[in-house]
Amino acid sequence: MKDCDPPPPEDAQDRRSVPPVICYPVETLPQPDLALYAAARRTAKKVSEVVVSPREAACFRAEAGQFFRISSIEGPQVGDLNLWNVRDLSERFYSGKTRALHGTHLSIGDRMWSSFPTLRPMATITHDTLGWYGIDPYGGSVHDVIGTRCDPYTGNLLSESQYHHCCHSNLIRALAHECGLTAEEAERHVHDVLNVFMCTGFTRETGQYFMKASPVRPGDYIEFFAEIDLLGALSACPGGDCSSEHSSDAAACFPLLVEVFSTDPATLADWHSPGVNGYDRSHGLG
């Protein structure tokens, strides 16, 4: 409680003891066919790769039905991932709705959902070598959709800094180069991320967002099945393993590897790229 808070009412404990209800029960959520994806994965051939330099970002493309893998290769490093529909940048990863559907941290079988009005799976997590981590005693876990992305505006707000290699700026530069956009145009498309390999949570006492040293080690990876044709951008966060700080060049930083794999189309004969959301979009206006 803060000093300015009013005194609790007599039935405060009764009100607090009401059990929670899951906001979005996922029993009716379309489930990925992980066995089908696994069969397709066995036919995979690497078609491209890009190494993301420390404190930089890089773009990659993955067609519907392909896989993309993000690996730690030289040292513990977290990555900030943006996804777009390759033909329409206005369809992009929706971190908040993904959090509402799957929880604060993603793991195998969870999807990365797109923004309104499409709200469909963009990618499905099929492998995660950090899946063993679970939830630690601090309430921390990996691959979060609760943070945003480190950015120069918050740094300026808190310490009047002018730092140009936060993930927000890295993603802007990568998208600008990939699509021939100005920084101002690219900035409109950069969005809240999946924090790949990042270990985060909220403190029990104050509810504050915390980070701690990522458990990722070289050789660890997370792999995704592309549900639609994707343009992705990954930033190797200036925070490195995010054990101390970001928004500066102080932390040790390492590259990340992104690899894209094609599959034998015959293995996906019974699979269809998901269509856009079925809501009629009249919004009660008739």
**Residue range at the interface with Zn ion (CB under 5 A); choices 99-107, 130-138, 150-158, 249-257:** 150-158
Establish if 150 lies at the interface with Zn ion (CB under 5 A). yes
Is 150 or 176 the residue whose CB approaches Zn ion more closely?
Answer: 150
Peptide bond preceding 7 in cis form (omega within 30 of 0):
no
**Residue range at the interface with Zn ion (CB under 5 A); choices 14-22, 43-51, 147-155, 181-189:** 147-155
Total of residues contacting Zn ion (CB under 5 A) = 3
Establish if 193 lies at the interface with Zn ion (CB under 5 A). no
**Residue range at the interface with Zn ion (CB under 5 A); choices 120-128, 142-150, 214-222, 275-283:** 142-150
3-state secondary structure of 194: strand
Neighbour-count burial of 7, counting CB atoms closer than 10 A to its CB (0-12 exposed, 13-18 middle, 19+ buried):
exposed
Q: Closest separation between CB of residue 106 and Zn ion, Å?
A: 17
Provide the 8-state DSSP code for 265. G
**Residue range at the interface with Zn ion (CB under 5 A); choices 66-74, 93-101, 122-130, 237-245:** 237-245
Establish if 236 lies at the interface with Zn ion (CB under 5 A). no
CB-based contacts of 21: which residues, under 8 Å, 6+ apart?
none
Q: What's the CA gap between 59 and 50, in Å, rounded?
A: 8
226 contacts 67 by C-beta, under 8 angstroms: yes
Q: Closest separation between CB of residue 246 and Zn ion, Å?
A: 5
Q: What's the CA gap between 135 and 131, in Å, rounded?
A: 10
Q: Closest separation between CB of residue 173 and Zn ion, Å?
A: 13
Q: Closest separation between CB of residue 237 and Zn ion, Å?
A: 3
Q: Closest separation between CB of residue 13 and Zn ion, Å?
A: 41
Scored b (16 or more CB within 10 A) or e, 155-165 reads beeeeeeebeb
Scored b (16 or more CB within 10 A) or e, 229-248 reads bbbbbbbbbbbbbbeeebbb
Establish if 167 lies at the interface with Zn ion (CB under 5 A). yes
Establish if 256 lies at the interface with Zn ion (CB under 5 A). no
Q: Closest separation between CB of residue 84 and Zn ion, Å?
A: 19
Which residues contribute to the site for Zn ion (CB under 5 A)? Answer: 150, 167, 237
